[in-house]
């Protein structure tokens, strides 16, 4: 059966069979919640069904579906951040303080050199499992901003716009996220 004679739902069904696993893996690394990832992928295919007539095959199907999913993830982030704003950005100050009153590192929180032999093969799955575990320990806003910046490679200005936060709040969020991730990675991976 040619693409011309297939119904829209048959075409989307084939897209689902071909791309659902990839899209789920893409979503789960960004939202870190199986149910939310499944919902986002489902919403992606619903949107694909609505817009399949507009798909002109100028790009690969996977590229088109990933673009739809990215928009669904951004919408999810916005919703989460709005909820977080209601709780207040002032909660950032309640995160463990790594510096003394003079702005110098507390002795116990000061970053240490990682004694890792980079010539040895690092088990990638183990590393990403630990990284995901550490990402889950961040507050929602930190995890979202860090994921957008370092997984999705979104520009800082665009993250501020999407999350409706100021540039100074963004840098505080990213800085604290990195500090907490480093401390967690040291405890769970480097020094374990």
Which domains can be identified in the chain, with CATH numbers? 8-84 (1.10.1740.10), 90-190 (1.10.10.10)
Mean pLDDT for 113-136 is: 72
Asked whether 152 and 30 are in contact (CB, 8 A), the reply is yes
> What is the rounded distance in angstroms from the CA atom of residue 1 to the CA atom of residue 21?
25
Which residues, other chains included, contact 105 with Cβ-Cβ below 8 Å and sequence gap of 6+? Answer: 98, 99, 111
Alpha helices (H) in 108-150, listed in sequence order: 124-136, 140-150
Residue 155, pLDDT score: 94
Which residue has better confidence, 80 or 3?
80
Residue 192 CA to residue 187 CA, distance in Å, equals 6
Chain centroid to Cα 133, Å, comes to: 13
Per-residue model confidence as pLDDT tens digits over 47-56: 988 888 887 7
Residues 6 or more apart whose CB falls under 8 angstroms from that of 189 comprise 127, 130
What tens digit of pLDDT does each residue of 80-115 get? Answer: 877 666 545 555 444 456 667 776 767 776 666 766
pTM over 0.85: no
> What is the rounded distance in angstroms from the CA atom of residue 186 to the CA atom of residue 192?
8
Strand partners, 105: 99
């Amino acid at each position: 059966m040619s693409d011309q004679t297939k119904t829209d739902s048959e075409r989307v069904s084939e897209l689902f069979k071909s791309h659902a696993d990839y899209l789920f893996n893409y979503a789960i690394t960004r939202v870190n919640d199986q149910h939310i990832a499944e919902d986002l992928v489902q919403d992606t295919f619903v949107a694909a069904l609505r817009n399949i007539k507009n798909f002109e095959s100028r790009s690969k199907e996977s590229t088109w579906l990933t673009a739809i999913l990215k928009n669904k993830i951004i919408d999810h982030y916005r919703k989460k951040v709005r909820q977080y704003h209601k709780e207040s950005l002032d909660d950032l100050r309640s995160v463990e303080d790594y510096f003394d009153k003079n702005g110098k590192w507390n002795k116990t929180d000061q970053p240490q050199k990682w004694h890792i032999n980079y010539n040895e093969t690092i088990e990638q799955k183990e590393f990403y499992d630990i990284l995901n575990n550490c990402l889950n320990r961040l507050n929602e806003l930190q995890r979202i901003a860090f994921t957008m910046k370092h997984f999705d490679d979104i520009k800082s200005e665009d993250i501020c716009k999407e999350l409706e936060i100021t540039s100074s709040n963004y840098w505080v969020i990213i800085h604290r996220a990195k500090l907490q991730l480093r401390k967690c990675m040291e405890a769970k991976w480097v020094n374990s």
